[in-house]
Amino acid sequence: MIFVDPAIEASQELFTIGVYYPTTHEQFKSDGLSKAILNIKYRHGEDPDSQPWKQRNKTIALAAFHRKLNPMLGTGISITAVPPHDPASSRSGIQELAQNLAANGRIDATNCLVRWAAIPKLATGGDRTVEQHLRSIRVESVELIRGREVLLLDDVSTSGSSLEACTQLLMQAGAAAVKCAVLGRTVGR
């Protein structure tokens, strides 16, 4: 059981914490959830020249999403995340959250999904097709997901194509089941 709540576990819908408003949307300025997602999405504070408040915001956002998701999840499951668009990127914020959630009686499968070929950033108009992701992601360390229930995390879902592609890849690699969860679903989609 990935989610301990039977209704969430039985649902075929994408589990989402809430609505994500892009920075260009009029609601963004007053929406705390969207700002918290951006603190994770863009890994504020990793640059050594970054302002200390950005690091605090990232730490606060990670802790808040952990507090929300951790009690909702079963134990013994594998947790992974959609990889960043660029293989040269450092570990993404959503991967860090997945790793933190895995520390509580779950399996850290954050290294299973690997983006081996860079794709254009989706937020700036990149190709949002499932095929684009299938061509650029592979599954490694299959022993961490084979025969197991897997929680697949992403920060934002706009089209759902990266989640769909990663789900296909995980199932082909032998996952028993995959449920997807996102911090925010882009408004208007």
* CATH code: domain of residue 152: 3.40.50
Q: Specify the residue for token string 């999403």.
A: 65
pLDDT tens, the chain, 189 aa long: 999 999 999 999 999 999 999 988 999 999 999 999 999 887 544 454 455 666 788 889 999 999 999 999 999 999 999 999 888 887 789 999 999 999 989 999 999 999 999 888 766 666 678 999 999 999 999 999 999 999 999 999 999 999 999 999 999 999 999 999 999 999 864
Distance CA 184, CA 158 (A): 9
Q: Which two tokens stand for residue 157?
A: 């879902």
Q: Is 36 helix (H, G, I), strand (E, B) or coil?
A: helix
Does 46 reside within a domain? no
Report pLDDT for 89. Answer: 80
Contacts of 167 (CB under 8 A, 6+ apart): 152, 178, 180
Q: Which two tokens stand for residue 182?
A: 């996102």
Backbone angles phi, psi at 178, to 5 degrees: -135, 130
Does 85 reside within a domain? yes
Distance CA 23, CA 38 (A): 9
Domain housing 90? 6-17+73-186
Does 116 reside within a domain? yes
Does 54 reside within a domain? no
Does 51 reside within a domain? no
